[in-house]
Structure 1
């Protein structure tokens, strides 16, 4: 997982973020990272979640657990 140096800044755990992401977009998590990015608190867990033939990017705010993004990735 990228961003392990950011983990101490996160208020929610990776497991909590994974649960929020798969609740927002049920499917199989293919990739995950913790990164600084605009929006929300500025720190987010990003997940690539496969649903059938489509991969969705789901962003979870690492400080509040809020879903910041849930969109199909363009190929």
Structure 2
């Protein structure tokens, strides 16, 4: 019985962390003035390719809320950041650390 409790506790805590992150994402999205779809279009104009990762995050710079995209083109992956409140470009940098 103790083993099942010991195993269940970490799983329950992980569920709480994921639920908290989902809540944070919904709260962040409520503060965004532009949509993820609009931000994707902006990012792909800056660096055409295939979006392999996207997220809405709180980060220093601009309004403090940004969409972050990893865009793969050929062998290179760029990280493109778009301000979620203004739509301005915040970042366009080579980021091959996450490349497949």
Shorter-chain TM-score category?
A: over 0.9
Distance in 2, matches of 1:5 and 1:34, equals: 10
Partner of 1:41: 63
Is the Cα–Cα contact under 8 Å of residues 21 and 47 in structure 1 kept in the other structure?
yes
Decide which structure has greater strand share. Answer: 1
- Secondary structure of 2:52's counterpart equals strand
CA apart distance, 1:4: 3.2
**When you count helix as a share of all residues, which structure comes out higher?**
2
Task: Give the TM-score normalised by structure 1.
Answer: 0.93
Q: Which has the larger radius of gyration?
A: 2
Which protein has greater RCO, CA pairs closer than 8 Å, 6+ apart?
Answer: 1
CA change 1:9–1:16 in 2 (3 A) is same
8 Å contact 2:76–2:96 — kept in the other structure?
no
TM-score where L is the length of structure 2: 0.70
How far, CA to CA, are the matches of 2:34 and 2:60 in structure 1? 18
Corresponding residue of 1:26: 48
Off by >2 Å, runs of 4+ in structure 1: 2-5
> What are the ranges of 5 or more consecutive residues in structure 2 without an aligned counterpart?
1-21
